[in-house]
Structure 1
Amino acid sequence: MTRASLDKQPHEVASMFDGVAANYDLTNDVLSLGQDRRWRKEVAKAVGARPAEKVLDLAAGTGTSSLPFTRTGAYVVPCDFSLGMLREGKKRHPWLPLTAGDATKLPFRDGVFDAVTISFGLRNVQDTDGALRELHRVTRPGGRVVICEFSHPTWAPFRTVYEEYLMRALPPVARAVSSNPDAYVYLAESIQSWPEQAELARLLQKAGWSKVAWRNLSGGVVALHRATKPQ
């Protein structure tokens, strides 16, 4: 299995990410033209982790996304269901408490985290509603969620150019820099099929989150959603 299909069978998605773990961070940097570093800085600001807070970083991959939270003095749990990603992360960051876990069946008790976040991983979960409910379950009352995910540009001409890049330019670039370019064809397709910004906000509300808001980054290429668990 070299790539997952859009029905997002968990074993297919995990296997696909296992296969790209070694070069995943570098490949993302190249394919996003360096924008992923800016996006992750915005995530760190939105989460606003503080010393001694407990933060769940879901779909953390190799743990690179967790590092900004650790620098604040928060206790961060990077969690991912790709064992290949976690093994690579353990080589790079042996001190991180990397944890294997399925987004729809998280291995944590109720209300344990002050903040939960997931970047560029929610669209790869088979049951989006189930994942949002699980994030809600493991967050304390008054706690917060931050979701950073590829979305849809709001300006029509730019949207057309962006979609052309996804389906025409991205695969050749991926072939040059990735160990599994077919995986990035799936990732492009999954971006195109992902809900619009307002629809994801509605799913958050449906899962029990309140004060739902979002803002677009890079013209809507990425959307940053925030919400709070009611007291």
Structure 2
Amino acid sequence: MQKDPDDVAGMFDATAKRYDLLNSLLSGGNDRLWRIHMQRAVKPQPGERILDVAAGTGASSAPMAKAGALVTALDLSAGMIEEGRRRHPDIEFVHGSAEELPFASDTFDAVTISFGLRNVQHPRAALSEFLRVLKPGGRLFVCEFSQPPVNVVRRGYEAYLGTVLPGMARLASSNPEAYRYLVESIRSWPDQQALSQWIRTAGFTRVAHRNLTLGVVALHRGRKPTEATGAIRLARHAQADDQEA
């Protein structure tokens, strides 16, 4: 899929006001459960600096801010940011790209992104940026649509994506084209193992994932190495190279 950033931003601008409502409708209310799982995984602490990328209207940012974290909500869509500021005036919203984060290195204790990484034109470049802005030892959390590992579930999910979701979108949304894009972007997105490998390749350690809703969604996590763990990894790579030689 060609994901021009301006086209993606314009699509979300057009759906900003009803975006969260439609998400709840089209997911059968599971979007709220997915946000709860994300919140529990992050365990935001008072005073922590957290960057919520592709934050949209702030639905995932607000619970973390309520827990006392200092949340920065970043999004590419000006319409989403405008709506987010209206709903959550106490949260800092920033317009920007996940591929070129407007923050200094080693700034945040955690970076989160929910259902936004697959909308990035170069997702692996974004993962590298997430690593850069995290403090050593900082945490990454990626909640994203995925591929159900059980065949019968996967076939049922494909049927839902191909027939039910587009039909509901045509009835409920003023911009059903956006939801055709949603279906295509989910179908073309890599599975859990492939995304885990992308996260490792970006430089994260302790990479793992947990399936939600039978694998329709997966919650991935990783950590930015500290100087000590980074040195250990380099030593192991050097030892492996010596053995191969």
Short-chain TM bin: over 0.9
Match of 1:124 among 119, 124, 135: 119
**Which residue in the other structure is 1:39 paired with?**
34
Residue 90 of structure 1, CA deviation:
1.4
More helix by share: 2
**Which residue in the other structure is 1:94 paired with?**
89
2:133 corresponds to 1:138: yes
Match of 2:23 among 23, 28, 46: 28
2:94 corresponds to 1:114: no
**Which residue in the other structure is 1:59 paired with?**
54
CA–CA separation in structure 2 for the residues paired with 1:188 and 1:131: 22
Match of 1:167 among 162, 175, 181: 162
TM-score, structure 1 length as denominator? 0.97
Match of 1:68 among 58, 63, 74: 63
Residue 13 of structure 1, CA deviation:
0.4
SS at match of 1:11: helix
CA–CA separation in structure 2 for the residues paired with 1:179 and 1:59: 22
Residue 144 of structure 1, CA deviation:
0.3
- With 118-127 and 82-91 compared, the bigger mean Cα shift is at 82-91
Residue 41 of structure 1, CA deviation:
0.4
2:185 corresponds to 1:212: no
AA at the equivalent of 1:192: R
Gaps of 5+ in 2: 227-245
CA–CA separation in structure 1 for the residues paired with 2:171 and 2:45: 40
| Structure 1 runs (4+) greater than 2 angstroms displaced | none
SS at match of 2:38: helix
CA–CA separation in structure 1 for the residues paired with 2:89 and 2:44: 22
Residue 163 of structure 1, CA deviation:
0.7
Residue 121 of structure 1, CA deviation:
0.2
More relative contact order, 1 or 2 (CA 8 Å, 6+ apart): 1
Q: Deviations over 1:109-165 (max 9, x none)?
A: 001000000000000001011000000000000000000000011110110010111
Contact 1:69–1:76 under 8 Å retained in 2: yes
CA–CA separation in structure 2 for the residues paired with 1:176 and 1:30: 11
SS at match of 1:98: strand
TM-score, structure 2 length as denominator? 0.91
Gaps of 5+ in 1: 1-5
AA at the equivalent of 1:99: V
Structure (1 or 2) with the larger CA radius of gyration: 2
SS at match of 1:104: coil
